[in-house]
A and B are shown apart, each in its own frame.
Chain A
Amino acid sequence: KQEVTQIPAALSVPEGENLVLNCSFTDSAIYNLQWFRQDPGKGLTSLLLIQSSQREQTSGRLNASLDKSSGRSTLYIAASQPGDSATYLCAVCDNYGQNFVFGPGTRLSVLP
């Protein structure tokens, strides 16, 4: 059964810092991996999707990498801003492209 963990559970940084959020999964037979942002009481907003054949994806200040063989993904946020404060979740999709399993999230606070 696929299990997804995220480290750290919470992170507080001053504005402008570069930071890395980590996601690990136990079964490397995945179809894709997706990073989401969730603001309090809100839905999940898709940030980046990495297919199993890809190593990384970039969108603006965000860069996500995938090492499928070691069961790891990282989300790199450059030059963090207070508006980046949210919970960041990763989710892996099984090899059939049907079942998404979520990590518990990393709660990020960027202080002005």
Chain B
Amino acid sequence: EPEVTQTPSHQVTQMGQEVILRCVPISNHLYFYWYRQILGQKVEFLVSFYNNEISEKSEIFDDQFSVERPDGSNFTLKIRSTKLEDSAMYFCATPTGAGELFFGEGSRLTVL
């Protein structure tokens, strides 16, 4: 079972500020997903990242969002200019070879 660590666990930011959320796999994985969950709502797909490239992205993942693998191990989700509606839990996930998806504990983002 792959382990995924996310930081920070909670971040509070002012509207318009940039936020970077990080995801660290314990073992080597090439495929990563970012999801978000607004309080009380569905888990929504943002973007999938395979072998250092975006594989697929949703309509939510607009120009304010970007993903990177800056140092070969960490995966980051950047929101350039946060809006109030970006307040949510952001989850990183990675699949096993059998297609089973494993999630990190999430990063709670609060935009004031």
Contact = CB atoms under 8 A, between A and B. Distances in A.
Nearest to B96: A49
Contacts of A46: 100-103
A33 to B, nearest CB: 10
B54 to A, nearest CB: 12
Contacts of A36: 103
Contact of A49 (B42, B48, B98): B98
Contact of A97 (B44, B99, B103, B105): B99
Contacts of B43: 44, 89, 91, 102
Given A31-B99, A93-B99, A104-B42, A42 B106 contact: yes
Given A44-B91, A98-B55, A32 B99 contact: yes
A105 B40 CA distance: 10
A31 B98 CA distance: 10
A46 B80 CA distance: 31
Interface string A20-59: 0000000000011010100001111110010100000000
Q: Name A's interface SS.
A: strand
Nearest to B91: A43
A99 B100 contact: no
A100 interface: yes
A30 to B, nearest CB: 10
A41 B91 CA distance: 12
15 contacts: A32-B100, A34-B100, A41-B89, A43-B103, A43-B104, A45-B103, A46-B102, A49-B98, A49-B99, A91-B101, A97-B99, A99-B56, A100-B101, A102-B42, A102-B43
